[in-house]
Amino acid sequence: MGAKIGIIMGSQSDWATMREAAMMLDELGVAYETRIVSAHRTPDRLWEYGKSTVARGLQVIIAGAGGAAHLPGMMASKTRVPVIGVPVQTKALSGVDSLYSILQMPRGFPVATMAIGPAGAANAGLMAAGILALQDEGLAQRLDDWRAALSASIPEEPTDD
């Protein structure tokens, strides 16, 4: 069985952000694939990827892009597989451009939009894992353990250093 999660991004330059999603899935023991699929530079690749998602058994797509970030929305227009969008932080507009591009989808074609940047990418990994965990008891347990460990790592009082 192939990967159930696809991590796609508009450019190689997005990988520094999107690898946070991949690292989270590595930590949780979830298989994924990664692809560069640009809405503007490789529109045919985007179309082919979108058309093949259901047949290939993908269950969640994590899509990251920056600037005029049309990739998540265009992917959502091409497949019913849930799309989680990650706004990549940009230099010119700090990623607000990416956020608005991904967030403001028209009724009928949703994209679950995360926070801007690496935290958003990490949360996309967690969100995707949470969706798969609905039907995977082993993953559900690993996710519960991960969450409990994070909570346990937070001190009750602040220190000076």
Q: What residue ranges bind ligand RP5 (CB under 6 A)?
A: 10-11, 13-14, 38, 40, 65-67, 88
What number of CA atoms fall less than 13 Å from residue 30's CA on the CB side? 34
Quote the least distance from Cβ 45 to ligand RP5, whole Å.
Answer: 13
Q: Which is nearer to ligand RP5, 11 or 113 (CB)?
A: 11
Please report the DSSP string for 4-21 in residue order: SEEEEESSGGGHHHHHHH
Q: Which is nearer to ligand RP5, 38 or 77 (CB)?
A: 38
57 vs 3: CA distance, rounded Å? 8
Q: Is 14 annotated as a binding residue?
A: yes
Inter-residue contact 62 to 82 (CB < 8 Å): no
Quote the least distance from Cβ 106 to ligand RP5, whole Å.
Answer: 21
Q: Is 45 annotated as a binding residue?
A: no
Q: Which is nearer to ligand RP5, 13 or 141 (CB)?
A: 13
Quote the least distance from Cβ 17 to ligand RP5, whole Å.
Answer: 8
Quote the least distance from Cβ 135 to ligand RP5, whole Å.
Answer: 31
Query: Which residues are bridge partners to 86 per DSSP?
Result: 64
Q: Is 26 annotated as a binding residue?
A: no
Please report the DSSP string for 37-50 in residue order: --TTT-HHHHHHHH
Q: Characterize the bridge pairing of strands 112-113 and 83-88.
A: parallel
Residues contributing to the annotated binding site = 11, 14, 41
